[in-house]
Amino acid sequence: MCQVLLLLAELSLIGCATAISLMLVNNGVTSAASIANWTPHLFFTLVAASVVLPSLQTYRSIWRYTGLKDCLRVTAATGGIVVSAEALRILFGRYQGSGFALLILQALMVLFFLVGSRILVRLSSAARAQSAQRKAAATAADSETIIIVGLGEMTDLCLRFLAHFYPHPIRIGGLLGDSDRLIGRSVHGYPIIGTQEQTAGALYNLETHGVAVGRIVVTTPFQGLSLRARIALQEIKKSKKVEVEFLADRIGAGPPGIGKVLSSGAGTNGIPESSRGAEGLAALTRRPYLRVKAVLEPVVALGVLIVFMPLFAIVAFLTVISVGTPLTFWQRRPGLNGRKFNLYKFRTMAPAYTMDGQAVSEDERTSSIGHFMRRTRLDELPQLFNIVFGEMSFIGPRPLLPVDQPASCAARLLVRPGLTGWAQVKGGRDISFADKVALDVWYVRNASIFLDLKILALTVRMIIFGEKVDKDAIRLARIEGRAVA
């Protein structure tokens, strides 16, 4: 019975839309003669709709849950109704065609009525649910205020769940998006009050107005957050004043282990305690020098590529005669803010297995030419393309394999990885991983044009004379790291 009523409702909407389109085509004239002329068109439209709508089963959808597929089905039904009605009018009514303008206008009006009515019902249903939820939260003494971090489909699902199924009265204090251009706009009637990096500031502003936030629900997957947003959330988590919950991790839609990373005391969402100052290292990455550097380096790298093309040809020839083809190999490595990119090198080693499947030792795989290329860093030349693409820098922490880049050392990812860096010229391969991290973080804290020029000069010396451990630089990096913790 309900489906029959829905079908009758759809036929009524189509009839109204058709009548309005006929009036508009006739400039609003509603004389008896004009109405008589409209009747056949209206009749054939309703006949066509009585066949098309059941065929596409549009009446089976629940209007308050209307989605994109429902709208597409209604659009297809609209086209079928208009075309079928015109065919019936010409075939049985022995009238001339109605005219292209009327058909287009009728299709638009029918689509507007059918889709618009569904959207109106959905919005009305959502508004009633939100109103009831807000009223319950306003009258409950133990209601909880929540901030949503992130915008997207999961945010939409989260808000609907909180409005309909959450077991306790809640208030939505606001949403934090990924761009300051969205501040002031709203989602489901809830305001966007800041960006993901401004979580602490949003909490402070709400507390200033007497609103105590009990929980922060993060709908953006952990890897989708910027490093500064991770730092801000971990600081809040460590304060234990507000509960931080990663929705994607909770329902199994995000990378595993997020909760462990957040709850561990080893660092701030991957930032070691020794790598944070009073304002945090993240603020240092907004220095003008680093911004100018990011713009100029791709241009400089492109010029270097052009100048050193003959050297590229020589190294490519050496690669072919020593290990064969292909000339290069690539590895996925984390770069700025943990974003993965393909790092390229000239090959210096032969395949790990022979044609008959026998394993080959690393010493056997590396030829004297390969050793020379690695010793002089000539195998790193293809990374100039990474600089051109903005994935790397001339100077910065060397990019590591994901397995060698633990979350507790993510502070070194606050700047773009480099061809060479402070850790390479002050220790290279002869120092521990912890010392390399300390040196890399020291560079992040002190990066400047003068330091970069010094590293370039020291890199040339390293290539000529070999690596040398500078214990004083390592000691200074560790002391400064502890001093700002």
Report which of residues 409 and 355 the model is more confident about: 409
pLDDT cut 70: percent of the chain above it:
78
How does DSSP assign 50-105, residue by residue?
HHHHHHHTGGGS-GGG--HHHHHHHHHHHHHHHHHHHHHHHHHS------HHHHHH
Q: 3-state DSSP call for residue 417?
A: coil
**Separation of alpha carbons 36 and 44, rounded Å:** 14
CA pair distance 456, 34, nearest whole angstrom: 87
pLDDT band at 271 (very low <50, low <70, confident <90, very high): very low
Q: Which two tokens stand for residue 156?
A: 């939409």
DSSP secondary structure letters along 196-223: GGGHHHHHHHHHHTT--EEEEEE-S-GG
Q: What is the pLDDT of residue 393?
A: 92
To which residue do tokens 């994935």 refer?
391
CA dist., res. 469 & res. 459, Å (int): 13
Question: Is pLDDT at 357 greater than 80 in this prediction?
Answer: no
Q: What is the pLDDT of residues 161-186, one digit of tens each?
A: 776 666 566 778 889 988 888 888 88
Q: CA-CA distance, 359 to 143, in Å (whole number)?
A: 65
What's the pLDDT at 63?
75
Strands 271-272 and 267-268: antiparallel
pLDDT average, residue stretch 370-399: 88
Q: Are 4 and 36 in contact (CB under 8 A)?
A: no
Residues 6+ apart with CB under 8 A from 71: 115, 118
Contact 216, 147 (CB under 8 A): yes
Domains of the chain: residue spans and CATH: 2-125 (no CATH), 142-268 (3.40.50.720), 288-483 (no CATH)
d(CA 172, CA 458): 55
What confidence score (pLDDT) does residue 417 get?
Answer: 92
CA distances for 442 relative to 232, 435, 473, angstroms: 21, 10, 9
State residue 431's pLDDT score.
Answer: 85
Which of the pair, 249 or 474, is modelled with greater confidence? 474
Structure tokens at 406: 């633990």
Residue 275: per-residue pLDDT: 38
> What 3-state DSSP class applies to 180?
helix
Residue 408 confidence (pLDDT) above 70: no
Q: What is the pLDDT of residue 367?
A: 78
Greater model confidence, 91 or 398: 398
Q: Where are the alpha helices (DSSP H) in 412-470?
A: 422-425, 433-446, 449-465
Residue 216 · residue 146 · CB < 8 Å: yes
Q: Is the pLDDT of residue 202 over 50?
A: yes
Q: Which of 349-358, 398-407, 430-439 has the highest mean pLDDT?
A: 430-439
- 216: β partners: 147, 244
The pLDDT score that the predictor gives to residue 387 is: 92
Torsion angle of the four alpha carbons 121, 127, 129, 133, in this order, in degrees rounded to the nearest 10: 180
Measure the CA–CA gap between 396 and 455, rounded to whole angstroms. 10
Helix (H, G, I), strand (E, B) or coil at 330: strand
Using the predicted structure, report yes or no on whether residue 9 has a pLDDT greater than 50. Answer: yes
H helices present in 140-246, as ranges: 153-164, 199-208, 227-239
Q: CA 268, 274, 279 angle in degrees (round to 5)?
A: 65
The fraction of the chain above a pLDDT of 90, given in percent, is 7
Query: What are the C-alpha distances in Å from 60 to residues 4, 48, 56, 71, 349?
Result: 10, 18, 9, 13, 64
pLDDT band with cut points at 50, 70 and 90 for residue 251: low
Angle at 252 between CA 250 and CA 257, to 5 degrees: 75
- Would the pLDDT of 394 be above 90? yes
Is 90 exceeded by the pLDDT of residue 412? no
Q: Which pLDDT value is given to residue 392?
A: 92
**Sign of the four-CA dihedral 97, 85, 18, 69:** negative
pLDDT at 442 over 80: yes
- Please tell me the predicted confidence (pLDDT) of residue 252: 54
Distance (Å, whole) CA 485 – CA 482: 5
CB 337 within 8 A of CB 227: yes
Q: What is the pLDDT of residue 325?
A: 79
Query: Is the distance from CB of 232 to CB of 199 less than 8 angstroms?
Result: yes
- Residue 79, pLDDT > 80, answer yes
SS3 content of the chain, % helix, strand, coil (to 5): 60, 10, 25
- Calculate helix-pair angle for 309-323, 288-307, nearest 10 degrees: 70
CA 199/CA 315 separation, integer angstroms: 50
State how far the Cα of 166 lies from the Cα of 133, in Å rounded to an integer: 9
pLDDT at 30: 64
Interior CA angle at 471 toward 455 and 407, to 5°?
75
* Structure confidence by residue, pLDDT tens digits, 449-465: 999 999 999 999 888 88
Does residue 481 surpass a pLDDT of 60?
A: yes
Total residues belonging to the chain = 485
SS3 label, residue 133: helix
- Please state the rounded mean pLDDT for residues 364-389: 85
For residue 19 the two structure tokens come to 């009548």
Q: What is the mean pLDDT of residues 279-291?
A: 69
Instruction: Give the pLDDT confidence score for residue 42 in this predicted structure.
Output: 84
Contacts for 22-26: CB closer than 8 Å, 24+ residues apart: 22/102, 22/106, 24/105, 25/99, 25/101, 25/102, 25/105
Q: How high is the pLDDT of residue 300? A: 92
Mean pLDDT, the chain, rounded, equals 78
**The two structure tokens encoding residue 170:** 């809640």
Q: Which of 65-69, 86-90, 170-174, 450-454 has the highest mean pLDDT?
A: 450-454
Tokens of 353: 């297995």
Under the banding of pLDDT at 50, 70 and 90, the label for residue 266 is very low
H or E stretch at 265: none
Q: In this structure, which amino acid lies at residue 481? A: G
Instruction: Tell me the per-residue pLDDT of 135-154, one tens digit each, with 9 for 90 and over.
Output: 555 544 456 788 999 888 78
- pLDDT tens string 11-56: 889 989 888 888 887 776 666 666 666 778 888 888 888 888 888 8
Cross-strand bridge partners of residue 345: 329
Q: What is the pTM of this model?
A: 0.46
Q: Which structure tokens are listed for 404?
A: 């060698």
Looking at per-residue pLDDT, the higher value among 383 and 375 belongs to 383
